[in-house]
Amino acid sequence: MSETLAVAVPEARRWRRFTLAERMARFAVWLAVALAAVQSLRTMEVIPEFLYDAPAQMGDMLERMWPVDWAYLASGVWPALVETIHIASLGTLLSLLLAIPFGLLVAANLTPNGTVNLVARIVLVASRSVNSLVWALLFVAVFGPGALAGTFAIAFRSIGFVGKMMGETIEQMPRGPIEALQAAGASKASEIQYGYWPQLKPAFLSIVLLRWDINVRESAVLGLVGAGGVGMVLDSAMNLFQWQRVAAVLVAIFAIVIVTEIAVTQIRKRVL
Amino acid sequence: MTHALEIKGLVKQYQPGRPILKGIDLAIPGAGLTAIIGPSGTGKSTLIRCINRLVDPSAGEIWFGSGGERIDLARLRGRALRASRCRIGMVFQEYNLVERLTVMENLLSGRLGYMGAWAAWRRKFDQADIAYAFELLDTVGLGAHASQRADALSGGQRQRVGIARALMQRPPLLLADEPTSSLDPKTSFEIMGLLRDQGRARGIPVIVNIHDVELAKRYADRIIGLSGGQVVYDGGAADLDDARLRQIYGGQDWLA
Amino acid sequence: MSAPARASSAFRTGPATRVALWLILAYALYAASQLGFSWTRFVEGLGHGARFLGRMFPPDLSHRDDLADGIAETLQIAVLASLAGIVLSLPIGLLGARNLMPGPVSWAARALVSVCRSLHPVIVAILFVKAVGFGPLAGVLALVVSSIGFIGKLFSEAIEEISHKQVEAIRATGASFMNVVLFGVLPQVLPRFVGFATYQLDSNLRNSTMVGIVGAGGVGGVLLSAFQRFDYAFVLTILLTIIAIIVVGELAANSVKKVFHV
């Protein structure tokens, strides 16, 4: 071997899980989160006496709820439960009337006009951002207390959900069948009916079922602001401090949510 | 040459009364590649998995020379079991890499048996381990792929990572469960060659499950034939003639 | 040449679907009558609605401070509830995974998650108001419960769907249970977990705007009193602000997802 050959000792190779840029970005996010948390904790008003009292208060409330007033279920709660289901179902159906056109308009591949997409998207975002309880407040102010306000509240809230999901489903559809129809000279209406709709159907049913499930849950509480359904029974029982009836209503709400979930699972199994 | 592994009377039944392994007696030497062949369903995979206890034997003993002492793998539990697994490397048929992690992370996971959870979470690996990982990557020919995600690799490349991961454990014993079954013929030869060469280079025994008899004959120092849950052949590649193969596999046509 | 035997029925709705659609229509009419809807009421309602919209425009900015305080409190509730909820759902979701945990443990965790899911956040908020008093603490606690209910269930399901092979390999290296979870389970489910967490953050932001209606802090209280004063122009201001922060929240969540490679 030549003596003049200097063999370089290789530097130990380093391994880093993330590049420098990635690490800084991740650190920035963690820092922001920590700051937000600390700031929130400091400025949030917590009255210590209430906090220490909490277990005793909860215990007291649970005691007053027992025994549950089961008789009330048949007399006061049942009609309100039925009304709740009607509100949820009608509200969901009503929302479809508006959600379908907006869902079609917000999909960029179906409606190429950018401005129309944007407007439709704004409408859908606005619908989703306002809580169904707040919609209920609004419609109670418009229509007066009762189930009409509740139905519209559910409907207007659901438009955003159904419309957005529809739009996303349409945008992710394979282009093939659509292009074939366009090449054959189909009108826009035919394109929708024969190209988009058949592919949309299974997803559509799934979306509607999901929203109906959520709506039953939501409808149960709308009565707290006067928009009909079993929430009104809950509200009056709480105002009168009739805790055993409150317990009965809570059980009823719990039961109806479970029944709805089972129904949706069964329908899903059979149809989808 | 002392035996690295001694199996005595190993029995495994998944359902009562229908044993898959019906009493296996084997002694694996401390060096060389041993191939286990036999028809499907005869328990080859079960046998290999009993050694590192991914499957629990129903009866029998598995004596393993670990760190100067001999322990019965079949009896181990908890921490002792994990400690033994640290010393047995395994290569899987479908590579079993963690797809979303990079090649380096997959390799370094071979050291997880020696690390606490906090260090693992922060990916705080020893520099010595990282250096060794790079070395192994170069050995298997994947030096340039260290930061790629595992699911970006081809099948053959993934299996090389799998072998490197097993070697990261610096194990005194290497197991391979059908390492070539998911690979094309050329890659299969490369992988078998890699297993044999690494076994020789590190002086450790390699036990391979394989269903391709030609590969077994070409790369194994010793062949064990399993049939009906029992050992029916135990010897070199040269003695494995057609009559013996028929005894193991049954049937005539496939030999012609 | 004979005419085709039957016109193609490729796109016609099948008989079962048509029956279902008629049934739904019949139900709709029935429900509407049960709820006392009538055409006259609806038309009257439209009139009310138009007048109402008139009273809402233009939006009123005179109570800016109340609005700012309410929004600040809403954000605090959303941030704290999401943090606590996400941190708690990770272990609870893990405990609920039947492929990782022994039967009784996973059953208990799933039962807890079911209870958290089943009650509407508003009802939970009312209960917490009774327990810890009016104010944002009740709101935070209520939303922590709903976060655990949502993320916990989906996370357990995600873990149950992972590839068993990747976990097996890590077990074979002799790794401890925690290390198997860290290297075998989490890499497979972390992206989905981040998805659930950001969804829940968004959901908490929305819900925190309404728990104030029942006294659990946030801008909901400001909104309720505006309604009770018939100050509809201020209502519009509040609603527009709420929509704005939710949109900003969605955009922020998307960029966070990109930073964490989801």
For residue B144, give the DSSP letter.
G
Query: Cβ separation of B131 and A17 shorter than 8 Å?
Result: no
Question: CB of B162 within 8 Å of any CB in chain C?
Answer: yes
Residues of chain A with Cβ-Cβ distance to C82 below 8 Å are none
pLDDT at residue A4 in the model: 47
Is A183 part of a structural domain of the chain? yes
- Domain enclosing residue B123, as ranges: 91-170
Q: What share of chain B is helix, strand, coil (3-state, %, to 5)?
A: 40, 25, 30
- Report residue B147: phi and psi, to 5°: -100, 10
Q: For position A201, which CATH number holds?
A: 1.10.3720.10
pLDDT at residue B209 in the model: 92
CB pairs under 8 A between A and B: 16
Residues of chain C with Cβ-Cβ distance to B84 below 8 Å are 174
The residue among B42 and B201 whose pLDDT is bigger is B201
> Which whole number is the average pLDDT over A99-127?
89
Query: Cβ separation of C175 and B99 shorter than 8 Å?
Result: no
H or E stretch at C170 = helix C164-172
pLDDT at residue B138 in the model: 92
Cis peptide leading into residue B57 (ω within 30°)? no
Is B162 part of a structural domain of the chain? yes
C-beta neighbour count of B207 within 10 angstroms: 27
Residue A104 makes CB contacts below 8 A (sequence gap 6+) with A110, A111, A166, A170, A192, A196
Pick the closest to residue C249 from C195, C206, C202 (CA basis): C202
Pairing of strands B173-177, B88-91: parallel
pLDDT at residue A1 in the model: 43
C-beta neighbour count of B157 within 10 angstroms: 20
Residues of chain A with Cβ-Cβ distance to B104 below 8 Å are 15
Q: Tell me how far apart the terminal alpha carbons of chain C are, to the nearest angstrom.
A: 62
Distances (CA, A) of A109 to A105, A157, A168, B2, B237: 10, 25, 10, 72, 64
Confidence class for position B2, pLDDT limits 50, 70, 90 = low
pLDDT at residue A227 in the model: 93
Are A206 and A272 in contact by the 8 Å Cβ rule? The answer is: yes
Pick the closest to residue B113 from B72, B84, B146, B140 (CA basis): B84
Confidence class for position A48, pLDDT limits 50, 70, 90 = confident
Provide the residue type at B10 as one letter. Answer: L
> Which whole number is the average pLDDT over A89-100?
92
Q: What is the pTM of this model?
A: 0.81
pLDDT at residue A197 in the model: 83
Question: CB of A258 within 8 Å of any CB in chain C?
Answer: yes
Could you give the number of structural domains in chain A? 1
How close A15 comes to chain B (CA, Å)?
7
Is A136 part of a structural domain of the chain? yes
Are C153 and C118 in contact by the 8 Å Cβ rule? The answer is: no
Domains delineated in chain C: 65-259 (1.10.3720.10)
pLDDT at A242 over 50: yes
Q: How far apart are CA C185 and CA C158, in angstroms?
A: 10
pLDDT at B52 over 60: yes
Question: CB of B98 within 8 Å of any CB in chain C?
Answer: yes
DSSP H stretches of helix in chain A:
20-43, 48-65, 71-72, 78-106, 114-129, 132-143, 147-171, 176-183, 188-190, 197-222, 230-239, 243-271
The DSSP code sequence of C182-228 is: IIIIHHHHHHHHHHHHHHHHHHHHHHHTTGGGGTSSSHHHHHHHHHH
Q: For testing the chain C interface, which of B50, B109, B181 should be mutated: the one with the most C CBs within 10 Å?
A: B109
The DSSP code sequence of A185-246 is: T--HHHIIIIIIHHHHHHHHHHHHHHHHHHHHHHHHHHGGGTSSSHHHHHHHHHHTT-HHHH
Query: Cβ separation of C72 and A43 shorter than 8 Å?
Result: yes
pLDDT at residue C1 in the model: 44
Could you give the number of structural domains in chain B? 1
pLDDT at residue A2 in the model: 45
pLDDT at C6 over 70: no
Is B235 part of a structural domain of the chain? no
Q: How far apart are CA A188 and CA A181, in angstroms?
A: 10
pLDDT in tens, C137-185: 899 999 999 999 999 999 999 999 899 999 999 999 989 999 999 999 9
pLDDT at residue B252 in the model: 59
H or E stretch at C234 = helix C232-259
DSSP H stretches of helix in B87-154:
103-108, 117-121, 127-139
> Which whole number is the average pLDDT over C73-97?
93
pLDDT at A249 over 60: yes
pLDDT at B103 over 90: yes
Is B194 part of a structural domain of the chain? no
Q: How far apart are CA C128 and CA C178, in angstroms?
A: 35
pLDDT at residue C2 in the model: 46
Are A88 and C31 in contact by the 8 Å Cβ rule? The answer is: no
pLDDT at C44 over 90: no
Q: Tell me how far apart the terminal alpha carbons of chain A are, to the nearest angstrom.
A: 76
- Report residue C97: phi and psi, to 5°: -85, 115
Q: For testing the chain A interface, which of C118, C182, C228, C235 should be mutated: the one with the most A CBs within 10 Å?
A: C118
pLDDT at C247 over 70: yes
Nearest CA in chain C to B80: C174
Q: How far apart are CA A192 and CA A203, in angstroms?
A: 15
Q: Tell me how far apart the terminal alpha carbons of chain B are, to the nearest angstrom.
A: 38
Is B135 part of a structural domain of the chain? yes
Chain C residues interacting with chain B (CB cutoff of 8 angstroms): 163, 165-166, 168-176, 178-180, 182-184, 187-188, 190-191
The DSSP code sequence of C112-159 is: HHHHHHHS-HHHHHHHHHHHH-SSHHHHHHHHHHHHHHHHHHHHHHHH
Q: How far apart are CA B162 and CA B174, in angstroms?
A: 12
Provide the residue type at C68 as one letter. Answer: A
Q: Which chains touch B (3 or more CB pairs under 8 A)?
A: A, C
Quote the ipTM score.
0.84
Is A128 part of a structural domain of the chain? yes
Is B26 part of a structural domain of the chain? no
Number of Cα atoms under 13 Å in the Cβ half of residue C66:
15
Is B100 part of a structural domain of the chain? yes
Q: C62-69 — which CB contacts under 8 Å span 24+ positions?
A: C62/C234, C63/C222, C63/C226, C63/C234, C63/C237, C66/C222, C67/C219, C67/C222, C67/C234, C67/C237, C67/C238, C67/C241, C69/C222
Q: For testing the chain C interface, which of A19, A40, A205 should be mutated: the one with the most C CBs within 10 Å?
A: A40
Q: How far apart are CA B87 and CA B85, in angstroms?
A: 5
Strand, helix or coil for residue A74: helix
Question: CB of B121 within 8 Å of any CB in chain C?
Answer: yes
pLDDT at residue A102 in the model: 92
Mean of all residue pLDDT scores within chain C: 87
pLDDT at A272 over 80: no
For residue B173, give the DSSP letter.
E
pLDDT at residue A3 in the model: 47
Residues of chain B with Cβ-Cβ distance to C182 below 8 Å are 117, 120-121
How close A22 comes to chain B (CA, Å)?
14
Are B97 and B156 in contact by the 8 Å Cβ rule? The answer is: no
Residues of chain A with Cβ-Cβ distance to C77 below 8 Å are 40, 44
Query: Cβ separation of A17 and B105 shorter than 8 Å?
Result: yes
> Which whole number is the average pLDDT over A25-44?
84
Q: Could you tell me what percent of chain A has a pLDDT over 90?
A: 35
Question: CB of B84 within 8 Å of any CB in chain C?
Answer: yes
Confidence class for position B89, pLDDT limits 50, 70, 90 = very high
pLDDT at residue A9 in the model: 44
pLDDT in tens, B219-248: 999 999 998 888 888 888 888 888 888 888
The pair of structure tokens assigned to A122 is 């704004």
pLDDT at C86 over 90: yes
pLDDT at C262 over 80: no
* Stretch among B208-212, C34-38, C205-209 having the lowest mean pLDDT: C34-38
Is B161 part of a structural domain of the chain? yes
pLDDT at residue B164 in the model: 94
- Domain enclosing residue A99, as ranges: 70-271
C-beta neighbour count of A105 within 10 angstroms: 19
pLDDT at A74 over 70: yes
pLDDT in tens, C109-121: 999 998 898 889 9
Question: CB of B127 within 8 Å of any CB in chain A?
Answer: yes
Query: Cβ separation of C187 and B84 shorter than 8 Å?
Result: no
When mean pLDDT is compared over A146-160, B71-85, C194-208, the highest value belongs to A146-160
Give the A window 28-87 contacts with C, CB below 8 Å: 28-29, 33, 36-37, 39-41, 43-47, 50-51, 53-55, 57-58, 61, 82-83, 86-87
Give the B window 83-112 contacts with A, CB below 8 Å: 102, 104-105
DSSP H stretches of helix in chain B:
44-51, 78-86, 103-108, 117-121, 127-139, 155-168, 185-202, 213-219, 242-249
Query: Cβ separation of C135 and A82 shorter than 8 Å?
Result: no
Query: Cβ separation of A51 and C32 shorter than 8 Å?
Result: no
